[in-house]
Amino acid sequence: MYLEAINLSKKYGNFYALRNLNLRVEGGKCVGYLGPNGAGKTTTLKIFTNLLRPTSGDAIINGYSVQKELKKALKDVGTLIETPNFYPYLIPMEILSMLCDIRGATRKDILEALKKVRLYEWRNTKVKKFSKGMTQRLAMAVALVTNPSIMILDEPTTGMDPQGMAEIREIIKDLKKDGKLIFMSSHLLPEITDVCDEVAMINKGTLLLYDTIENVSSKFLSNSVVVEFLEPVKDIKPIQEIKYIKAINQINPYKIQIDFSGNAEEQYEILKSLLKMGYKITSYRSEGLALEKAYLKLIGGDKIE
């Protein structure tokens, strides 16, 4: 099972919301589609679910073009693009039953889907009583009712409180365990690191990177450390002389940030030199969330949550 964008572009007038996107995601895993507001995430997902037509290029799912062979392409796909407005006086069983006829799901499928999204106990409660998180989970159940192998989710935790977010993330992790391919957009880095195996980063309609979270992290992880000292550092010049160090930023008398060239080996050599020089070090750690560094570097420093 796979999703593939081939030279996918979407133009609004002269503005490219998406420019020559080439991306193939394949297999049972969760791929995060990460980018700041306006990056082109929703545009991409809407093209994959036929809510938008591309200006050029192809969106392929399992070998079928979404634009040319829609039914075949979306046969095994569940989507959650915008939370639907459910009629408030209906109960989940009724809402999902309506789908049985349309999509050929059985009562057993409905109960399964409700269990997966942890709404089984609420199956006979009117949705007007539901929180935002529960409504979103019901929308997930709608996407899941035919037990598709591929799930396309657009910012599935947007607008939810922390508890609601955590519940959705746990459900996504369960779906991953079921062997599904999940392609989900998000502008929340901690969410992507928590839930996803791989990340595709996009900004201004252009793909910046597609790799495993692990690789992205290790690529960007080890070139900056924050060192804390037992005693104030009065003169940083001797530290600047240490091999591999590129720049030093003294945060306060007891704390400096070191940018260096290299990886773990060099990071270790720097620590050895500092100890040899007699500095009393109380803490020595790689700085920040590695993925965040990679992300900020790639999108040119825009701050995100």
Ligand X SMILES: Nc1ncnc2c1ncn2[C@@H]1O[C@H](COP(=O)(O)OP(=O)(O)OP(=O)(O)O)[C@@H](O)[C@H]1O
Tokens of 134: 């529960």
How many residues sit close enough to ligand X to count as binding (CB under 6 A)?
Answer: 11
Distance CA 7, CA 21 (A): 5
41 scored as a contact of ligand X (CB under 6 A): yes
60 scored as a contact of ligand X (CB under 6 A): no
Distance CA 141, CA 111 (A): 9
Burial bucket for residue 252 (CB in 10 Å: 0-12, 13-18, 19+):
exposed
In whole angstroms, the minimum distance from the beta carbon of 299 to ligand X comes to 12
Distance CA 16, CA 42 (A): 13
In whole angstroms, the minimum distance from the beta carbon of 45 to ligand X comes to 8
Applying the rule CB under 6 A, the residues between 2 and 31 that interact with ligand X are 12, 17
8, 39, 171, 175: residue in contact with ligand X (rule CB under 6 A): 39
Distance CA 175, CA 169 (A): 10
43 scored as a contact of ligand X (CB under 6 A): yes
54 scored as a contact of ligand X (CB under 6 A): no
Residue type (1 letter), 45: L
159 scored as a contact of ligand X (CB under 6 A): no
Nearer to ligand X, 62 or 185 (CB): 185
Distance CA 288, CA 68 (A): 45
42 scored as a contact of ligand X (CB under 6 A): yes
In whole angstroms, the minimum distance from the beta carbon of 172 to ligand X comes to 18
Residue type (1 letter), 288: G
Binding residues vs ligand X (CB under 6 A): 12, 17, 35, 37-43, 187
